[in-house]
Amino acid sequence: MDQLIAELPAPAADAKPEDRSAYGAKLARYTAVKESHAERVKAEVRVIWGDYFTPDHAKQFPQAHELVFKILKQASKARQGTALADAQELLKLVQEFAELFWQTKGAKTRRQPSLQKSGGDLVVPVAA
């Protein structure tokens, strides 16, 4: 969504009111979706952390707690602004979390291109 916001052409100074209105509507929609996505990331990570991870997982993967903390903070940062670097950092952290999650299940992972305009990779488990 940060990419869409950055690519959204601002109306010219002499733009028609309907063009200004259309720009404002798109910007508002993109921003709302971006904020919704950030909150969803936080909710999903909290649920996995709280409902799935056990004390044994925490011992086996001592970096898990700090990683979850970083994801929650980075999602808030990405939500508050429109810097693409913030969104990319969040993606990187979530990918690390996905890899760690699959490790707890004894699965190896690979990264597969997402095929989205924004790029990025999906972390998927690999059959043994």
Q: Which residue has the higher pLDDT, 66 or 128?
A: 66
What per-residue confidence (pLDDT) applies to 128?
Answer: 65
Distances (CA, A) of 57 to 40, 51, 61, 81, 99: 23, 12, 6, 33, 13
**Weakest mean pLDDT among 9-13, 84-88, 113-117, 122-126:** 113-117
> 98 near 109, Cβ under 8 Å?
yes
Work out the pLDDT band at 24, boundaries 50, 70, 90. Answer: very high
Q: How many other CB atoms are found less than 10 A from the CB of residue 61?
A: 15
Work out the pLDDT band at 11, boundaries 50, 70, 90. Answer: very high
d(CA 114, CA 58): 29
Residue 118 has pLDDT above 80, yes or no: no
Domains of the chain from N-terminus onward:
2-126 (1.20.120.400)
> 79 near 38, Cβ under 8 Å?
yes
CB-neighbour burial class of residue 64 (10 A; exposed 0-12, middle 13-18, buried 19+): buried
Report the length, in residues, of the chain.
Answer: 128
* Antiparallel, parallel or unpaired: β 121-126 and 108-113: antiparallel
Task: Output the DSSP codes for 99-115.
Answer: HHHHHHTT-EEEEEE--
